Amino acid sequence: MAKLLVLYKKPKDINVFDAYYFATHVPLAKKLPGLKKYDVSTGGVVSPAGASGIHLVATLYFDSLDAIKAALGSAEGQATARDLGNFADGGVDLYFFDTKEV
Protein backbone atom coordinates (compact mmCIF):
# COMPACT_ATOMS: atom_id res chain seq x y z
CA MET A 1 0.00 0.00 0.00
CA ALA A 2 1.20 3.52 -0.77
CA LYS A 3 -0.15 6.79 0.55
CA LEU A 4 -0.37 10.32 -0.77
CA LEU A 5 -0.43 12.65 2.23
CA VAL A 6 -1.69 16.19 1.62
CA LEU A 7 -1.18 18.84 4.30
CA TYR A 8 -3.30 21.96 3.79
CA LYS A 9 -2.02 24.95 5.71
CA LYS A 10 -4.43 27.36 7.39
CA PRO A 11 -6.34 29.24 4.66
CA LYS A 12 -7.35 32.90 4.78
CA ASP A 13 -11.02 31.91 5.25
CA ILE A 14 -11.66 28.46 6.73
CA ASN A 15 -15.37 28.46 5.80
CA VAL A 16 -14.65 29.26 2.15
CA PHE A 17 -11.89 26.62 2.06
CA ASP A 18 -14.09 23.91 3.60
CA ALA A 19 -17.08 24.64 1.36
CA TYR A 20 -14.98 24.54 -1.81
CA TYR A 21 -12.87 21.57 -0.71
CA PHE A 22 -15.78 19.27 0.04
CA ALA A 23 -18.10 20.42 -2.77
CA THR A 24 -15.56 20.68 -5.59
CA HIS A 25 -12.08 19.36 -4.82
CA VAL A 26 -13.00 16.07 -3.17
CA PRO A 27 -15.18 14.97 -6.13
CA LEU A 28 -12.26 15.77 -8.48
CA ALA A 29 -9.76 13.85 -6.37
CA LYS A 30 -12.08 10.86 -6.07
CA LYS A 31 -11.76 10.43 -9.85
CA LEU A 32 -8.00 9.76 -9.62
CA PRO A 33 -7.30 6.45 -11.36
CA GLY A 34 -6.21 3.75 -8.94
CA LEU A 35 -7.48 5.53 -5.80
CA LYS A 36 -8.42 2.88 -3.22
CA LYS A 37 -9.42 4.98 -0.22
CA TYR A 38 -9.56 8.67 0.74
CA ASP A 39 -9.88 10.08 4.24
CA VAL A 40 -9.44 13.47 5.87
CA SER A 41 -8.72 14.75 9.34
CA THR A 42 -11.52 16.07 11.49
CA GLY A 43 -11.17 18.71 14.15
CA GLY A 44 -7.96 20.58 14.79
CA VAL A 45 -4.57 19.31 13.64
CA VAL A 46 -2.24 19.66 16.61
CA SER A 47 1.34 18.84 17.52
CA PRO A 48 2.83 17.90 20.88
CA ALA A 49 3.56 21.63 21.30
CA GLY A 50 -0.09 22.58 20.67
CA ALA A 51 -1.82 24.14 17.70
CA SER A 52 -0.23 23.69 14.29
CA GLY A 53 -0.34 25.68 11.07
CA ILE A 54 -2.16 22.80 9.39
CA HIS A 55 -5.89 23.10 8.75
CA LEU A 56 -6.62 19.71 7.16
CA VAL A 57 -4.79 16.47 6.36
CA ALA A 58 -5.97 14.31 3.47
CA THR A 59 -4.69 10.77 2.99
CA LEU A 60 -5.21 9.05 -0.36
CA TYR A 61 -4.42 5.35 -0.64
CA PHE A 62 -3.08 3.54 -3.71
CA ASP A 63 -1.56 0.12 -4.43
CA SER A 64 1.95 1.46 -5.09
CA LEU A 65 4.13 4.52 -5.65
CA ASP A 66 3.88 3.85 -9.36
CA ALA A 67 0.08 3.99 -9.07
CA ILE A 68 0.34 7.39 -7.33
CA LYS A 69 2.68 8.70 -10.02
CA ALA A 70 0.35 7.45 -12.74
CA ALA A 71 -2.67 9.04 -11.03
CA LEU A 72 -0.89 12.39 -10.67
CA GLY A 73 0.19 12.28 -14.31
CA SER A 74 -3.29 11.47 -15.60
CA ALA A 75 -5.76 14.04 -16.93
CA GLU A 76 -7.71 13.68 -13.66
CA GLY A 77 -4.53 14.21 -11.64
CA GLN A 78 -3.60 17.31 -13.59
CA ALA A 79 -7.13 18.75 -13.13
CA THR A 80 -6.98 18.03 -9.40
CA ALA A 81 -3.56 19.68 -9.10
CA ARG A 82 -4.71 22.76 -11.03
CA ASP A 83 -7.71 23.05 -8.73
CA LEU A 84 -5.47 23.60 -5.69
CA GLY A 85 -4.97 27.21 -6.77
CA ASN A 86 -8.72 27.79 -6.48
CA PHE A 87 -8.90 27.29 -2.71
CA ALA A 88 -5.59 26.36 -1.01
CA ASP A 89 -4.43 29.93 -0.47
CA GLY A 90 -2.58 29.04 2.75
CA GLY A 91 -0.33 26.61 0.92
CA VAL A 92 -0.25 22.85 0.56
CA ASP A 93 2.42 20.15 0.89
CA LEU A 94 2.19 16.74 -0.79
CA TYR A 95 4.13 13.66 0.28
CA PHE A 96 3.89 10.14 -1.06
CA PHE A 97 5.41 6.95 0.24
CA ASP A 98 5.11 3.19 0.48
CA THR A 99 3.94 1.67 3.74
CA LYS A 100 4.28 -1.65 5.50
CA GLU A 101 2.54 -3.02 8.50
CA VAL A 102 4.71 -3.54 11.56
Give, rounded to a whole angstrom, the gap between the first and last alpha carbons of the chain: 13
Return the number of other C-beta atoms located less than 10 Å from residue 40's C-beta.
Answer: 14
Q: pLDDT averaged over the chain? A: 96
Domain extents for the chain? 2-98
Q: Spell out the CATH class of 2-98.
A: alpha beta
Residue 81 pLDDT > 90, yes or no?
A: yes
Say if residues 54 and 10 touch (Cβ distance below 8 Å): yes
Confidence band of 43 (pLDDT split at 50, 70, 90): confident
Q: What is the pTM of this model?
A: 0.94
Residue 53 pLDDT > 90, yes or no?
A: yes
Mean pLDDT across the stretch 76-94? 97
